[in-house]
C-alpha cells in the first residue's frame, strides 16, 4: 500500500481534539445511532420486516376473505368477525416479527463476533452506558418502524376484509391493538437484544428467541386445562406480550391486554438487567 503522509500527528488537529466538549449520554446515543445505521444487517432486517409484514398481511387476508366468500372456511369467518384486528395483525406481523428478533440479537452479538465491543468499551468504559444507549436507540428505531408497519398492515387488512367484516380505529380496543402491535415489537426487539447480551453468540441467541416466540407459546397452551398451567402460559413473556395486539381479550384470558404488556416489559427489564450485569462483570 502507499506510504502515509508523514505529517505531524497533532499540530493541525490538536485544536479539534482539545476544544471538544465533555461527552455524556447524549453523545453515546448519537454514537449508537451511527453504529446501527452503518451496518447492512440493520437495513436488510428492517427491509425484510416491512416487506414480509405488509406482503403477508395482504396475501393471507386476501386468501382468507376469498375462502370465506367461496364458502371454504366457515370457522375462519367466525374468527374474522369476532376480532378482525387480531386476525389482520396476526398474519404478517406474526412472521415479520422474526426479523425484529434477529436484528435485536445481532445488534448485540455482532459487537462480540467482530470484536468491536473492545473499541466500544475503550470509548465508554462505564459499560452499562453502552448497553443503555444501544437499547434506547434500538427501541426508538423499532418503535417508529413497528408503528408504521402496524398501521399500514391495519389499513391494508381493513380494505381487504371489508367484503366480509368491517373494522375501524374507532371501534373499542382497535386503536389500542394497532398501537400495541408497535409497542409489542419494540419490547420484543429489546427482549432479543437482552438475550443477545446474555449469550454473546448470534446463532444460539437467535435460536432461543425464535423458540420462545414461535414454539414455546404453543407448547404451553397445552397446559391450559390445568389451573396452574394456564397461569404459566398467560405469564409467559411472549404470550403475555401478544395480548395487546387483539382488540378484545380471548375467552378465559387471565390477563388484560395492558397487564400482559406489563408482564412482557417486566421480563424484558429483568433480562436487560441480567445482560447489563454480565456485560459489566465479564472480561471483554
Partner 1 sequence: MIEARDLTKRFGSKVAVDHLSFTVQPGRVTGFLGPNGAGKSTTMRLILALDHPSSGTATIDGKSYVQLANPLRTVGALLEAKSVHTGRSARNHLLFLAQTQGLPASRVDAMLDLVGLRDVANKRAGTFSLGMSQRLGVAAAMLGDPQVLLLDEPVNGLDPEGVLWIRNLMKRLAAEGRTILVSSHLMNEMAVTADHLIVIGRGKLLADAPTEEVIARGSGQSVRVRTPDADRLTAVVTAEGATAVPASNGNGTPATGQHADGAPVLIVTGLPAARIGELAAASSIVLHELTPQLATLEDAFLELTAGSLEYGHLDAEPADWSAR
Task: State which of residues 85, 89, 98, 124 lies at the interface with partner 1 (CB under 8 A).
Answer: 124
Which one of 18-26, 155-163, 175-183, 244-252 is the stretch in contact with partner 1 (CB under 8 A)?
A: 18-26
Binding residues among 243-282 for partner 1 as defined by CB under 8 A: 281
Task: State which of residues 39, 128, 139, 214 lies at the interface with partner 1 (CB under 8 A).
Answer: 39
Residue 98 is a binding residue for partner 1 (CB under 8 A): no
Pick from 186, 183, 178, 184: which is nearest to 87 by CA? 178
- What's the rounded Cα separation, in Å, for the pair 38 and 116? 13
Pick from 278, 42, 279, 275: which is nearest to 142 by CA? 42
Task: State which of residues 73, 121, 139, 223 lies at the interface with partner 1 (CB under 8 A).
Answer: 121
DSSP string, 9-41: SSHHHHHHHHHPPPP-HHHHHHHHHHHHHTSHH
Which one of 9-17, 55-63, 70-78, 207-215 is the stretch in contact with partner 1 (CB under 8 A)?
A: 9-17
Task: State which of residues 40, 170, 225, 227 lies at the interface with partner 1 (CB under 8 A).
Answer: 40
| Alpha-helix residue ranges (DSSP H) falling in 38-173 | 40-69, 74-82, 84-114, 116-123, 127-161
Nearer to partner 1, 8 or 170 (CB): 8
Residue 201 is a binding residue for partner 1 (CB under 8 A): no
Residue 118 is a binding residue for partner 1 (CB under 8 A): yes
- What's the rounded Cα separation, in Å, for the pair 220 and 283? 37
Residue 227 is a binding residue for partner 1 (CB under 8 A): no
- What's the rounded Cα separation, in Å, for the pair 194 and 131? 9
Q: Give the distance, in angstroms, between the CA of residue 226 and the centroid of all CA atoms in the same chain.
A: 31
Shortest CB 132 distance to partner 1, Å: 13
Residue 38 is a binding residue for partner 1 (CB under 8 A): yes
Residue 193 is a binding residue for partner 1 (CB under 8 A): no
Answer yes or no: are the C-beta atoms of 62 and 97 closer than 8 Å.
no
Residues that bind partner 1 (CB under 8 A): 1-10, 12-14, 16-18, 20-24, 27-28, 30-32, 34-35, 38-41, 110-111, 114-119, 121-126, 281, 283-284
Amino acid at each position: 500500500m502507499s506510504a502515509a503522509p508523514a505529517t505531524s500527528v497533532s499540530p493541525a488537529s490538536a485544536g479539534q481534539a482539545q476544544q471538544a466538549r465533555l461527552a455524556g449520554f447524549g453523545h453515546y446515543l448519537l454514537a449508537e445511532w451511527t453504529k446501527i445505521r452503518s451496518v447492512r444487517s440493520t437495513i436488510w432486517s428492517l427491509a425484510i420486516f416491512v416487506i414480509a409484514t405488509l406482503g403477508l398481511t395482504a396475501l393471507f387476508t386476501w386468501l382468507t376473505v376469498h375462502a370465506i366468500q367461496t364458502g371454504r372456511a366457515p370457522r375462519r369467518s367466525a374468527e374474522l368477525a369476532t376480532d378482525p384486528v387480531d386476525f389482520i395483525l396476526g398474519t404478517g406481523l406474526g412472521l415479520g416479527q422474526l426479523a425484529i428478533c434477529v436484528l435485536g440479537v445481532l445488534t448485540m452479538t455482532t459487537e462480540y463476533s467482530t470484536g468491536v465491543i473492545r473499541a466500544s468499551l475503550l470509548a465508554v468504559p462505564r459499560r452499562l452506558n453502552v448497553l443503555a444507549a444501544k437499547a434506547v436507540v434500538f427501541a426508538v428505531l423499532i418503535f417508529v418502524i413497528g408503528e408504521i408497519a402496524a398501521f399500514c398492515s391495519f389499513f391494508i387488512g381493513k380494505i381487504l376484509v371489508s367484503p366480509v367484516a368491517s373494522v375501524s380505529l374507532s371501534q373499542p380496543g382497535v386503536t389500542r391493538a394497532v398501537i400495541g402491535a408497535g409497542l409489542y415489537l419494540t419490547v420484543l426487539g429489546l427482549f432479543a437484544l437482552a438475550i443477545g447480551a446474555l449469550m454473546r453468540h448470534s446463532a444460539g441467541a437467535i435460536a432461543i428467541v425464535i423458540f420462545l416466540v414461535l414454539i414455546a407459546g404453543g407448547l404451553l397452551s397445552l397446559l391450559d386445562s390445568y389451573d396452574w398451567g394456564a397461569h404459566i402460559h398467560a405469564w409467559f413473556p411472549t404470550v403475555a406480550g401478544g395480548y395487546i395486539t387483539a382488540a378484545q381479550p380471548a375467552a378465559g384470558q387471565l390477563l388484560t391486554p395492558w397487564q400482559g404488556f406489563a408482564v412482557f416489559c417486566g421480563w424484558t427489564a429483568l433480562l436487560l438487567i441480567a445482560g447489563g450485569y454480565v456485560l459489566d462483570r465479564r472480561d471483554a
